């Protein structure tokens, strides 16, 4: 069994702990949080073998931990990777890898110098819907893929640190656009580079909470001439919206993770329905087994299998760097109002 330690005890840490239950050759052995009381509660919830640590260094020093999972706010990723590398531990980092392309490159440099295994936790490409659509496209089902439109929307983040745009590195585009940028790379092929972008963003609703954009749209041009349109929103009520529309020369494919097999009208609250649901009654659209529907379980199995084999996973920190560089260019375009090239220096 591969021992896994999770840094963090919030929503995404809970999701990663849940996903580990679907991995036969790995188990959660340690956790840490900036609040030791939260770490203790997290450890108690997820199993008798889980040790609660007071800080990142203590968890990374734990000999039972082989693989460190970073489930922390954006501004702590760099320091967490630095500590994990110092202890020679393999590391998985949640999205986005960093706040900027420059910071992401620094993170990549650290793991490469240390020679440690690394995985970029971009769950979107592992979700069953996306995986099936990708398989169909690879098999030539819709001919040559020409355009993609993807959107992720809800009414705003769980944790307060996301609302601090200066600390987090950005708003809705960084928080959610990182998913759709990477799914675009996944569908069009990673050798088919994104060359330039045009983006718009604004704070339409949450000006009392953030100085970052709560709504954004970006166009991504690829070397092969294809175009992806990505939309990111923190202003939409009614729960998660996760949709891809893929158009090819011989057909089209649509995925919609937010539309599940269960829906209905209820007058009495029945408990948890779906991530970021804004109402407990009326028309509701619960998503069964969210951890699996969104690809977290499949992602964790993939990472553990490749770590155990010593092979490179589908998503690495190199991918995280490119995503951050693309988003940097989008933010430049928001300011300049023109197409902006992707730059390695951010």
**Domain residue spans in the chain?**
2-123+297-314, 125-295+325-341
pLDDT band at 320 (very low <50, low <70, confident <90, very high): very high
pLDDT reported for residue 106: 98
**pTM for the whole structure:** 0.95
Place of tokens 């500590």: 83
Q: What is the DSSP letter of 162?
A: G
Residue 149 backbone dihedrals phi, psi, to 5 degrees: -120, 125
d(CA 35, CA 258): 33
Domain 125-295+325-341 has CATH 3.40.470.10: no
Query: What are the strands of the beta sheet with 67-70, ordered from one edge?
Result: 51-53, 26-32, 2-7, 67-70, 90-94, 118-121
Q: What is the pLDDT of residues 151-196, one digit of tens each?
A: 999 999 988 889 999 999 999 999 999 999 999 999 999 999 999 9
Residue 259 backbone dihedrals phi, psi, to 5 degrees: -105, 105
pLDDT reported for residue 279: 80
pLDDT reported for residue 298: 98
Which CATH class for the 2-123+297-314 domain?
alpha beta
CB-based contact 105:321 (threshold 8 Å): yes
CA 98 remoteness from chain centre: 11
> Checking DSSP bridges between strand 340-341 and strand 194-202, what pairing results, if any?
antiparallel
Q: What is the pLDDT of residues 5-34, one digit of tens each?
A: 999 999 999 999 999 999 999 999 999 999
Q: What is the pLDDT of residues 224-267, one digit of tens each?
A: 999 999 999 999 988 788 999 999 999 999 999 877 788 788 88
Cα→Cα distances 158→103, 247, 258, Å: 24, 33, 18
Residues β-bridged to residue 227: 147, 221
């Amino acid at each position: 069994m591969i021992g896994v330690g999770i840094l963090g005890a919030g929503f995404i840490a809970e999701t990663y702990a849940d996903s580990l239950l679907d991995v036969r050759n790995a188990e959660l052995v340690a956790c840490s949080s900036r609040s030791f009381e939260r770490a203790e509660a997290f450890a108690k919830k997820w199993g008798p073998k889980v040790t609660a640590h007071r800080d990142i260094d203590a968890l990374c020093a734990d000999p039972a931990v082989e693989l460190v999972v970073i489930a922390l706010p954006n501004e702590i990723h760099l320091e967490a990777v630095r500590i994990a590398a110092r202890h020679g531990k393999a590391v998985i980092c949640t999205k986005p890898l960093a706040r900027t392309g420059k910071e992401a490159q620094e993170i990549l440099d650290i793991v490469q110098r240390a020679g440690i295994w690394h995985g970029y936790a971009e769950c979107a490409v592992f979700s069953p819907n996306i995986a099936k659509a990708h398989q169909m496209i690879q098999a030539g089902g819709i001919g040559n893929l020409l355009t993609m439109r993807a959107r992720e929307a809800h009414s705003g983040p769980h944790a307060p640190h996301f609302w601090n745009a200066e600390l987090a590195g950005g708003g809705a585009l960084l928080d959610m656009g990182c998913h759709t940028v990477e799914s675009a790379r996944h569908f069009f092929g990673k050798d088919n580079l994104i060359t330039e972008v045009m983006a718009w963003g604004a704070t339409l609703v949450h000006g009392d909470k953030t100085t970052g954009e709560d709504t954004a749209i970006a166009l991504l041009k690829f070397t092969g001439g294809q175009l992806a349109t990505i939309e990111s929103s923190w202003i939409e009520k009614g729960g998660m919206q996760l949709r891809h529309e893929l158009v090819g020369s011989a057909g089209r494919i649509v995925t919609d993770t937010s539309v599940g097999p269960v829906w209905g009208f209820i007058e009495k609250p029945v408990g948890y329905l779906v991530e970021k649901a804004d109402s407990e009654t009326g028309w509701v659209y619960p998503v069964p087994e969210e951890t699996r529907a969104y690809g977290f379980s499949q992602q964790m199995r993939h990472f553990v299998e490749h770590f155990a084999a010593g092979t490179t996973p589908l998503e690495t920190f190199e991918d995280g760097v490119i995503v951050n560089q693309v988003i940097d260019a989008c933010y430049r375009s928001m300011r300049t109002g023109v197409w902006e090239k992707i730059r390695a220096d951010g």
